[in-house]
Chains A and B, each alone.
Chain A
Amino acid sequence: MSIERIERRQGAALVAPAMLWTLAFFLLPFLAMIWMSLSHLEGREVVSGPGLENYQRIFTDPSLRRGIWVSLQISAVVTVISVILAWPLAWIIATRVPEKWRRLALLLAVLPFWTSYVVRSYSWALVLGENGLIMQSLIGAGLLEAPIQIMATRSATIIGFVHFFTMLLTLTIYSNLVQLPPNYARAAEDLGASRWQVIRLVILPLTLPGMVTGAFLTFVLCIGDYITPQILGGNSELTLPQLIMLQLGRRGDYPMASALAVVLMVLVTLAYAACARWLRMERV
């Protein structure tokens, strides 16, 4: 047996566990979910597919269609706001905070990750409520006469998300910023660029990979999240994961839940394709 053949076999043997794992715990369940999405509910019984009834309903039922639209809107807004907030924070930590304090600054930045996600959402419910800290402070300062409703609105959901994802994005952008050689900025300044031009024309483009990685993660985690809109959104409108949970918990409609989950996966895949192609994420 040639050495090349032996090496090929050894390589296959090394890859095999990972392949089997992916096959057993991703590919097969995914195929099962697609098959289930092609089935349908008759009365209270699941009738095996194949059929496209569920997909037709998703795109013709206004409530389901709106769920997709609401999820896309919230995820897009959260991603944009989080990037806008995270980039300066990451830049300050990477360039303005003395090196000996950077670790502490990062630790403080990721502090929200230490708390349970559910507890954090309920905490925001208390902060954003009519009798919560924000409203009472604004009323106390004379900026408001009466409380306005934030809790149980889309704004509350977005605030809850942004609080969490700004931290995530700060980490990805920070890791990108600290890898940039300081000579780039110095060279630009030597060539007459102002500080703002250095940031805009040199540093910002070079941090795009980190920014897009974080933005993609934010979008994916946000569009698939059930807890935050459920607790903070007050069911004033339903997102895609909430609609999926309704099908599972209330109707026992596993085919429709699967179809909605497939739509969710398609949206995530499209987001990935857009990011990967546009900004060449393989560089990250």
Chain B
Amino acid sequence: MKKTARAAILLATALVPVSAQAAQELNALIWCDHGDPALLEPFEKAHDVKVNIKEYQGTAEALTILEQSRPGDWDVMVIDAVDVGRAVDRGILAPLPADALPTADFFPELVMESHNSRDSVIYAVTDKFGYNTIAYDKTKVEPADMASLKALWSEKYAGRIGLYDYYLPMLGLVGIAQGVPTSALGAEKIETLRDPLMALKKNTKLVADVVGSQTALATGEVDILLGGGEFLTATLHAENPNLDWTIPTEGAALWAQSLAVLKDSGQPELALEFVKYVTSPEGQARLATSSCYWGMPANAKAGEHLSAEQKAVLRWDEQAEYLKRAQLYPIPSAEDDAAMQDLWTDMLQN
């Protein structure tokens, strides 16, 4: 009898954590910044939900994950704003009610209706943005030189440059340096970027992903990181305040990420609540300063939840000017996309 009682107590003890667990779960396909516990915990507590996350890196990867999943496996996804149309074409996104979204409080340029909507139906909402531009160590380069992209092709900085390994913004930047707007980067223009890209490679020491780029800049392996921006330097600011970034006179590439609810989500109301939370001023401030990488919040009211120092790192007061000079990522057709990737691979391989 004693044994039975002990077993019952043990069983009950074992079950306690289970009953204390969240009543429901939300599955999110995200970029790493959305996985920060500081962002997720307030939502999880408020809705008694556990947010399960899976990180991915490129839209192609995310679409493949969704294809290989069962309907309803995923509730929300983060997607490159320029790729929302691809997801809409596949019919995987659910319409979002306009009155539930705080887009009236957004920086006007970041509402991005033409990307997030189709036929007046909203399918996604921008939640963060930033720039692929020039990041540098201001003690090792002349900051005045960084006002022009041309400096990267000069002998002066040969062997001191790193490139961020993402072909879309990088080819956009090379195009911008050549006077080709990102919106005009079609089939006939892509090949004209080959020579300047190869010349840039000659000046380049390494090509790296986010972590590799951060490491290279932080350790002094490179002095300049083309394609970097606040998303690279902000998290390093406390340790190395010499790392800086700027938007050159020619312009820079604007990145923006959107949040969407999956059409087959089994809990669309909860998924919408998540979208509302992330785009709320508080959620936006937490997302902007995520431990994975920082970036500007789309909602301008997030400024009320950011400290003066955080806003200084994000260059909050200069956004109006920056947004005028920045150009959205190129949005290539499938064929142009393949041509751009081939060009980028050739650059890496030669």
Taking Cβ atoms with an 8 Å cutoff, the residues of A that contact B are 43-44, 62-63, 66-67, 122, 125-126, 129-132, 149, 151-152, 230-231, 234-238, 243, 246, 248-252, 254
> With contacts A131-B220, A248-B61, A249-B58 known, what are 6 further pairs, Cβ within 8 A?
A125-B215, A126-B219, A131-B219, A149-B205, A246-B345, A252-B61
Contact of A152 with B335 at beta-carbon distance under 8 Å, contacts A251-B341, A252-B64 already known: no
**In the complex, what residues of A have CB within 8 A of residue B216's CB?**
152
Instruction: Check if B348 sits within 8 Å of A235, measured CB to CB.
Output: yes
Instruction: Identify which of residues 176-206 in chain B touch chain A, using a CB-to-CB cut-off of 8 Å.
Output: 205-206
Contact yes or no, A129 B221, CB < 8 A? yes
Q: Contact check, B338 vs A251: say whether CB atoms are below 8 A apart.
A: yes
Q: Is the Cβ of B57 less than 8 Å from the Cβ of A238?
A: no
Does residue B159 face the partner (Cβ distance < 8 Å to A)?
yes
Which residues of B lie under 8 Å from residue A249 when comparing CB positions?
57-58, 60-61
User: Chain B binding site: helix, strand, loop or mixed by DSSP?
Assistant: helix
User: Closest 8 interchain pairs by CB?
Assistant: A252-B60, A234-B206, A152-B206, A235-B207, A43-B334, A63-B349, A44-B334, A131-B220
CB of A44 within 8 A of CB of B86, answer: yes
Report how far A230 CA is from B60 CA in the complex, Å: 20
Is there contact, CB below 8 Å, between B215 and A122? yes
Residue of chain A at shortest CB distance from B334: A43
B59's closest neighbor in chain A, by CB? A252
Among B205, B208, B338, B348, the one with the most A-chain Cβ atoms within 10 Å of its Cβ is B348
Is the C-beta of B346 less than 8 angstroms from some C-beta in chain A?
yes
Q: In which size bucket is the chain B interface?
A: 20 to 34
Bound CA–CA A126/B220 (angstroms): 10
Set of chain B residues within 8 Å of A132, measured between Cβ atoms = 219
> Which residues of chain A have C-beta atoms less than 8 A from B349's C-beta?
62-63, 66-67, 237-238
Chain B, residues 86-129, CB within 8 Å of chain A (1/0): the string is 10000000000000000000000000000000000000000000
Contact B335 A43 (CB under 8 A): yes
A234–B165 Cα gap in the complex (Å)? 10
Contact present for A250 and B334 (CB under 8 Å): no
A251 / chain B contacts, CB cutoff of 8 Å: 60, 337-338, 341
Question: Residue of A at shortest CB range from B338?
Answer: A251
Nearest neighbor of A156 in chain B, beta-carbon distance = B206
Alpha-carbon gap, A209 to B301, bound state (A): 69
The answer, yes or no, to whether B63 is at the interface (CB within 8 Å) is yes
Q: Please, could you name 24 A-B residue pairs with CB atoms under 8 Å apart, sorted by A?
A: A43-B334, A44-B86, A122-B215, A125-B219, A129-B219, A129-B220, A149-B159, A151-B206, A152-B205, A152-B206, A152-B216, A152-B221, A230-B212, A234-B205, A235-B348, A236-B207, A248-B60, A249-B57, A249-B58, A249-B61, A251-B60, A251-B341, A252-B61, A254-B64
Cβ contact within 8 Å between A238 and B345: yes
- Would you give the shortest CB distance from A183 to chain B, in whole angstroms? 54
Least Cβ distance of B207 to chain A in Å?
Answer: 4
CA distance A14 to B29 in the complex (A): 43
The docked-state distance in angstroms from the alpha carbon of A132 to that of B207 is 19
Least CB separation from A252: chain B residue? B60
Neighbouring B residues of A122 by C-beta, 8 Å: 215
- How many Å from the CB of B210 to the closest CB on chain A? 13
